[in-house]
Amino acid sequence: MNAPHLDIRGLTVDFTTPTGPVHALRDVSFAVPQNSVTGIVGESGSGKSTVLWSILGLLSANARVRRGEILFEGEDMLRKGTDALRAARGQDMSVVFQNPMASQIPVLTYATQMRDILYRKRDLSAADKRTLAVEMMERVGIPDPARRIDQYPHHFSGGMRQRAGIAMALLPRPRLLLADEPTTALDVTMEAQVIHLIRDLATELETTVLVVSHNLGLIAEMCDHVVVMYAGEVVEAGPVRELFHNARHPYTRALLDCDPARITRKTRHLPVIEGSLPDLSAPPKGCIFAARCPKATLHCEAEAPSAQVSGGRHSVRCHFPVTEKSVPDAPRILDAPHATPPDAGDIPLLEVPYLNVRFRTMGPIRARLNGVADPFVDAVLDVGLTVRRGETLGLVGESGSGKTTLGRAILNLTRASAGSVRFEGREVRNLPERAFKPLRRDMAMMFQDAIGSLSPRKTVRALIAEPFVIHGAQDRDLDREAERLADLVQLPRAFLGRYPHELSGGQARRVGVARALALNPKLIIADEPTAGLDVSVQGDILNLMAELQREKGLSYLLITHNLPVVRHVSDRLAIMYMGRIVETGEAEAIFNQPGHPYTEALVRGVPQPDPDQRRTAPPLRGEVPSLMNRPRGCDFAARCPFAKDECRQIKPSQSTRADGRVIACHFPLI
């Protein structure tokens, strides 16, 4: 093995805040071997991004590096002057950013931005630089690069923007490539493409990669070495197989256990890590994880463990490292059976025979001028679904698939252009708001943005009690009701006096659940209930929802892009693509054997948190086409690996299988 390309030793960083210093990084040490892909994995607050910005010397103004060395090719980046550091950036090392929407300047073309990056290559003419840039755009898979390089970032779709971001990062041929959550802003099918793109190009260009992510699947799929961080410390580091198959730190173990994609057997009760992050303005004296560790002893609380190396390059910072082999399906996870099995009664709770939602894309005048005869898009097109009492239906799709619009149209928050929505057998589509209002007691919604869906200047108490006020139940003791509901969703009553921005994502989510539950609804439409939550917390919310379902016989329509999660909590699934439902059926059956090629791509598109299950190629090429020019035949034909001529000409109709599955495909996989 070569000497490490990047060697970080004892890095300690504080942030100055109005309430005193926060010790964000404490004694962080790890090495990145040459020509390898190393990943830093951790949840929010672990300090993983701070490490990245320390390497670049671009920490925010209130950060102070107190101790440590960052040796890049033998030179300490922390001792370098501003100019020397700047010389290294964009030359020796480069970055791929998390959010390509925000990290590319909107007012300059890619050609200008890329020419700027090459400004140090004085021997190259402007034309040479442009040629290099076009070549790199081509390499990252941007079609027609010579033309598109003169476009602005907002002309690119999200996936293309991230490809352009990678092109910019690799353009100066850096020897070290840093990637900060490179796929977080992307959909599942794009994520897989970007992972492979970075990995392949890094090998080809002999670039060492350090990638930061919270996504265990990405880490397993992409990295050779893994560094696990928790609350500003490295708790474990080692080769990827060691780490995923033989994790020795209790935190790493717990983190792996929490990942729903690693739980092979279906379960209604997902594991979580109890407790919360320690306060980093006064970190504990002993082990940083002791407070949440099931195996912690007095010794752990009194004395901080030092990193011990075991078996080659695997190091762990724990007094009592786990030694037994990890089993993917941890035995302490119990499959809680359904208390009230979904009844197959004749009238389903919610029945949508078919529903269409159309949005106007441009004003009538502009459409006339442009010669557009039909200035509308079909966000939801001939969608049919059924939710039975006590059942959870998972509605899965990528962004732009129309799943959120569908949920809102059912709740009469968005106007449906055609179709029918029946709630308990009664037609409710496009009812006037006054007529719909009583129904809002029976149908509640949980919104994607946990904090943003709470009115910012109301206390939690007022927010929870609001449904009673709106529906004229003011004779009730609102304080008592608020406390009852807070208890129900396991939110400590002390939080009732707080404002939404003072809550964590998980706490805000509980408030959302309480508001949805206030009037004893029969159906809850939950839009991405785990969005923005860490892996160790998302189980909490899903378990709570499952518990409430058992107790109250609730039905859920669960809207999500997260297939591994939805699989565990849904009875049936509906897969949506470009506004249509392409497959519905029992969750387990679909998961075990997808019937529609798109479903298969989704199921296989999720990077597996197991380095032994790496894919050699991303399951899907290309991007979701624009709704404005819907293909003539099957919507999925352009990306489908099995597509035949018939698929490009004729729209497939839905066919029902023996097991009750409905698939819209000419050549289903089953």
Least distance CB 82 / another protein (angstroms): 9
Place of tokens 């090629």: 597
- The nearer residue to another protein, 116 or 303, going by C-beta atoms, is 116
Task: Between 312 and 371, name the residue whose CB sits nearer to another protein.
Answer: 371
Q: Which positions from 390 through 409 interact with another protein, judged by CB under 8 A?
A: 408
Question: What are the tokens at 617?
Answer: 């190629």
- In this chain, which of 317, 429, 515, 522 binds another protein, going by CB under 8 A? 515
387 contributes a contact to another protein by CB under 8 A: no
From 104-112, 301-309, 335-343, 579-587, span contacting another protein (CB under 8 A) = 104-112
Token pair recorded at residue 131: 């040629």
Nearer to another protein, 411 or 634 (CB): 411
Based on CB atoms, which residue is closest to another protein, 316 or 377? Answer: 377
Given candidates 485, 496, 563, 664, which one binds another protein under the rule CB under 8 A? 496
C-alpha torsion 287→291→297→299, nearest 10: 30
Among the listed residues 24, 41, 88, 381, the single contact to another protein using CB under 8 A: 88
User: What does the per-residue mask of binding to another protein show for 333-372, with x meaning CB under 8 A?
Assistant: -----------------------------xx--x--x---
Q: Which CB atom, from 181 or from 233, has the smaller least distance to another protein?
A: 181
Which pair of structure tokens corresponds to residue 171? 């353009």
Angle subtended at Cα 226 by Cα 225 and Cα 228, rounded to the nearest 5 degrees? 160
Among the listed ranges 94-102, 219-227, 289-297, 348-356, the one in contact with another protein (CB under 8 A) is 94-102
Q: Give the whole-angstrom CA distance, residue 10 versus residue 156.
A: 41
Q: Calculate ∠ Cα 286-289-290, nearest 5°.
A: 60
Residue 45: how many other CB atoms lie within 10 Å? 16
Between 309 and 435, name the residue whose CB sits nearer to another protein: 435
Pairwise CA distance, residues 227 & 211, whole Å: 10
Residue in 320, 359, 499, 642 binding another protein, rule: CB under 8 A: 499
Tell me, residue by residue from 522 to 541, as one string, x for binding to another protein by CB under 8 A and - for no binding. Answer: --------------------
Q: Please spell the DSSP secondary structure of 266-319, one letter per residue.
A: --SS-----S----TTS--SS-TTGGG-TT--HHHHHSPPPPEEETTTEEE--S
Radius of gyration of the chain (CA): 26
From the CB of 657, what's the least distance to another protein, in Å?
Answer: 35
Closest CB 574 distance from another protein, rounded Å: 21
- Does 626 sit near another protein (CB under 8 A)? no
| Between 441 and 651, CB nearer to another protein | 441
Q: Of 141-149, 199-207, 493-501, 659-667, which part binds another protein (CB under 8 A)? A: 493-501
**Residue 144, Ramachandran bin (φ over 0: left; ψ between -120 and 50: alpha; else beta):** left
Taking contact as CB under 8 A, which single stretch among the options 213-221, 288-296, 499-507, 590-598 is the one that binds another protein? 499-507
By beta-carbon proximity to another protein, the closer residue of 306 and 455 is 455
Cα 625 to Cα 631: distance, rounded to the nearest angstrom = 8
Q: Which 3 state secondary structure label does DSSP give 146?
A: helix
Contact string 647-666 vs another protein (x = CB under 8 A): --------------------
Measured CA to CA, the distance from residue 294 to residue 175 in angstroms comes to 42
Site for another protein in 111-140 (CB under 8 A): 116-117, 119-120
Among 105, 302, 347, 628, binds another protein (CB under 8 A): 105
Which region, judged by CB under 8 A, interacts with another protein, from 26-34, 228-236, 277-285, 500-508? Answer: 500-508
DSSP character at residue 425:
T
* Minimal distance, residue 494 CB to another protein, in Å: 4
Give residues 135-194 in contact with another protein (rule: CB under 8 A).
Answer: 152, 154-155, 168, 172
Q: Which of residues 470-489 bind another protein (CB under 8 A)?
A: 470-471, 479
Size of the site for another protein (CB under 8 A): 73
Shortest separation between residue 129's beta carbon and another protein, angstroms: 14
Footprint (CB under 8 A) of another protein, residues 42-81: 56, 58
Using CB under 8 A as the binding rule, the residues of this chain from 418 to 477 that contact another protein are 433, 436-437, 440-441, 444-445, 447-449, 451-459, 461, 466-467, 470-471
Helix (H, G, I), strand (E, B) or coil at 342: coil
Query: Least distance to another protein from the beta carbon of 487, Å?
Result: 9
Q: Which of residues 135 and 335 has its CB atom nearest to another protein in the complex?
A: 135
In whole angstroms, how close is the CB of 177 to another protein at the nearest point?
A: 11
Query: Which helix or strand (DSSP H or E) is residue 23 part of?
Result: strand 20-33
Residue 479, both tokens: 């304080």
When asked if residue 497 is in the footprint of another protein (CB under 8 A), the reply is yes
CB of 364 to another protein, least distance (A): 12
Residue (299 or 501) nearer to another protein, CB: 501
> What tokens appear for 416 in the block?
């449906």
Per DSSP, helices labelled H in 120-279 are: 126-139, 145-148, 158-170, 188-205, 216-222, 240-245, 250-258
Contacts of 81 (CB under 8 A, 6+ apart): none
In angstroms, the CA 277 to CA 534 distance is 12
Going by C-alpha positions, the residue among 477, 357, 374, 370 that lies closest to residue 417 is 357
The DSSP string of 159-197 is HHHHHHHHHHHHTT--SEEEEESTTTTS-HHHHHHHHHH
Angle, CA of 308, 314 and 316, to the nearest 5°: 40
* Cβ partners under 8 Å of residue 286, min gap 6: 299, 300, 301, 302, 303, 304
In the complex, minimum distance from the CB of residue 236 to another protein, in angstroms, rounded to a whole number: 28
150 Cβ contact list (under 8 Å, min separation 6): 109, 110, 111
Name the CA dihedral angle for 219, 221, 224, 226, rounded to a multiple of 10 degrees: 20
Q: How far apart are CA 65 and CA 57, in angstroms?
A: 10
